[in-house]
Amino acid sequence: MFFKPISAAAVALAASGLVAAQTSIKCNPLYMTCPADPAFGSEGVNCDFTKGACSAFQALEGTTPEYNGNGAVFEIQREFEAPTMATAKYIFFGRIDIVLQAAPGRGIVTSVVLQSDDLDEIDWEWVGSDNAQAQSNYFSKGNTSTYDRGAYHPVGNPTGSFHTYTIEWTSKVVNWMIDGNSVRTLTPEQANGGATYPQTPMQIKLGTWVAGGTASAPGTAQWAGGYTDFTAAPFIAYYKSISIVDYASSDAPSSSGVDEYVYGDRSGSSQSIQSH
């Protein structure tokens, strides 16, 4: 069981605007008419952060990323720091492959989050005090009434070595992979017959944050291995590279020239999404 009181990256620390930015949205199409989501479409994205910044990602407020031979450097020195980058464009089903080394440290969390405007979500997360596992998770429409969707997966030395972590997401299955090996699958039938299956266009967010801070709920700190000892700072995660493929509403790579995704109604169903 997960003890996280909220989804993937930090609304638990809502006192920090920087942390909340990792999962915040500007307009929820379940409740209002929102701008279209710009699509990656047939545009292939391959970011090598060892060579510097990648135009597909934007640094969010409070984040000034540095780059070196290990990639994008996400460093935490103090409690309310939460370095985060996000794509401006979205995938509507697709695949990401990211090479990273998670940050060590009690209470420190490294995350890769796929998130839609209506708060569907598919995650990878690493707890800095657990150097033997990665965690997968998903959410639907921002529903955090239960926390029984997470799973743990063995991986060797995730805070001290690089691994390739993959999410392939289609209308039929979500597949989480580590170094090319599938460690978990989720079908719509396993997600309340599809009712809670992530199914709306998502952007990709990369972030590192403090789950063991003084403002953290006890359950959040417990999940993250305890309260953070900042005398052990800095805590550093390295994001080396990422590839992004937008399936553009299909279940496989598509060559269609899609420019944007529009919510056709307020149902939040994949069938309501219009590709233009």
pLDDT tens-digit readout, 26-70: 899 999 999 999 999 998 899 999 999 999 999 998 899 999 999
Candidate list 125, 168, 189, 260, residue with the active-site label = 125
CA distance 48 to 69: 10
CATH architecture of 11-25+43-251: Sandwich (2.60)
CB 159 within 8 A of CB 126: yes
How far apart, in Å, do the first and last CA atoms of the chain sit? 41
At residue 9 the predicted structure's pLDDT band, cuts being 50, 70 and 90, is very low
Provide the strand spans (E) within the chain. Answer: 37-38, 45-48, 57-59, 66-68, 71-76, 84-87, 94-101, 108-116, 121-127, 133-139, 151-154, 163-169, 174-178, 181-186, 202-210, 235-246, 260-263, 273-275
Tokens of 25: 């949205």
Confidence at residue 147, expressed as pLDDT on a 0 to 100 scale: 67
Answer yes or no: 61 catalytic: no
Answer yes or no: 79 catalytic: no
The overall pTM is greater than 0.75 = yes
At residue 273 the predicted structure's pLDDT band, cuts being 50, 70 and 90, is very high
Note if the bond before 83 is cis, omega within 30 degrees. Answer: no
CB 115 within 8 A of CB 107: no
- Enumerate the domain spans of the chain: 11-25+43-251
Question: What is the four-CA torsion angle of 240, 124, 202, 212, rounded to 10 degrees?
Answer: -100
Rounded to an integer, the average pLDDT of 249-269 is 93
CA distance 220 to 54: 32
Please say if the pLDDT value at position 20 is more than 80: no
Q: What is the DSSP letter of 60?
A: P
Mean pLDDT of the chain: 91
Query: What is the chain's length?
Result: 276
Share of the chain above pLDDT 70, in %: 91
Candidate list 61, 121, 168, 260, residue with the active-site label = 121
